[in-house]
Amino acid sequence: MSLVIKFTPDTFTNSPKTNHELSHIARTLRTDVVKSLYLAKSGHSGGSLDLSEIMTVLYFNGFLKYNSKNWKDKSRDRFVLSAGHLAPILYSTLARAGFFEVEELGTLRKLGTRLQGHPGLDTNLPGIETSAGSLGQGISIAIGMAMSHKYLDKTSQKVICITGDGELEEGTVWEAAMASSNFKLSNLCWIVDNNDCQIDGRVSEVMNIYPLREKFEAFGFDVIEIDGHNFDDIKMALSKYEANLKNTDKPTCIIAKTYMGKGVSFMENKYEWHGNPPNKDQTIQALNELEL
């Protein structure tokens, strides 16, 4: 069977939507991820797919404040993908939000592309707040942003950071956690992509990080546990974070239970898909399952 990869030109507004509308966007993002990874012949499939609902709510339901046509606006909210290897879902989100042309998604990981395997400020790609890739570093950068906004700018801009759960095996992460509450960073929302998968096995078996709620609470966070694929759960958690920003001194941690490879049957909940792209036959099957 022949396979011709094309990206639909659709972009989406940043305004409140029904769950049905959000579901369509999430499926579009997943389709982009599969297509771009197939063309790249390398990259990270599983975690990119499982963040689709979370990224959809962050960027397309009126939560994050941004202007894709003036993306360096100093009043914008900040989003940091600390788990930089999940760049395919970030790139798809930014393209569908109008930061750059959707067709550019087909250049993922190509020589000279702006869409490198990990986000980099040196590429001058609109919407990228920081370089990422060395796990455990992005959350500390996000904390620096939160401190700057709260104590220097004296603004209430949101700072959202996503880490993987395997990333929590890095010691610097817990220094960051300690700093978050010490500096009363209620403007910080730390989302943990809790799929219990990393490149060589289950997180619980490679280096057990559990229990997560109790750990983050001990570090002074308001912790919210959700189904990371349920739009109502995601919206509820982000609403609680917004309330914390106004009413408490506590940073927020959202522990999102997700399933690696969500939406593609042969990838779902399989750690082997952490760092592998689909081949031709697998891409055809995945796109059939994700058909819009």
Torsion on CA atoms 193, 49, 130, 16, rounded to nearest 10: -90
Q: Which CATH superfamily is domain 19-289 in?
A: Thiamin diphosphate (ThDP)-binding fold, Pyr/PP domains (3.40.50.970)
pLDDT computed for residue 64 by the predictor: 98
Q: How confident is the model at residue 133 (pLDDT cuts 50, 70, 90)?
A: confident
Tokens of 4: 């011709």
Torsion sign across C-alpha atoms 202, 233, 77, 60: positive
Q: How confident is the model at residue 213 (pLDDT cuts 50, 70, 90)?
A: very high
Residue 192 in this model has a pLDDT that exceeds 90: yes
**Distant-in-sequence, close-in-space partners of 106: CB < 8 Å, separation ≥ 6:** 5, 7, 35, 36, 39
Give the containing element (helix H, strand E) for 222: strand 222-227
pLDDT in tens, 22-41: 999 999 999 999 999 999 99
Per cent of the chain over pLDDT 70 is 99
Q: How confident is the model at residue 271 (pLDDT cuts 50, 70, 90)?
A: very high
What would the mean pLDDT of 175-204 be, rounded to a whole number?
A: 96
Residue where the block lists tokens 């689909």: 278
Residue 292 in this model has a pLDDT that exceeds 80: no
Q: How confident is the model at residue 2 (pLDDT cuts 50, 70, 90)?
A: confident
Torsion sign across C-alpha atoms 34, 40, 46, 51: negative
pLDDT computed for residue 291 by the predictor: 87
How high is the mean pLDDT of the chain?
Answer: 96
**Domain residue spans in the chain?**
19-289
pLDDT in tens, 170-183: 999 999 999 999 99
What would the mean pLDDT of 155-183 be, rounded to a whole number?
A: 97
pLDDT in tens, 36-81: 999 999 999 999 999 999 999 999 999 999 999 999 999 999 999 9
Q: How confident is the model at residue 83 (pLDDT cuts 50, 70, 90)?
A: very high
Q: How far apart are CA 49 and CA 28, in angstroms?
A: 11
What would the mean pLDDT of 224-236 be, rounded to a whole number?
A: 98
Residue where the block lists tokens 């030109």: 9
Per cent of the chain over pLDDT 90 is 98
pLDDT computed for residue 275 by the predictor: 94
pLDDT in tens, 249-264: 999 999 999 999 999 9
Q: How confident is the model at residue 1 (pLDDT cuts 50, 70, 90)?
A: low
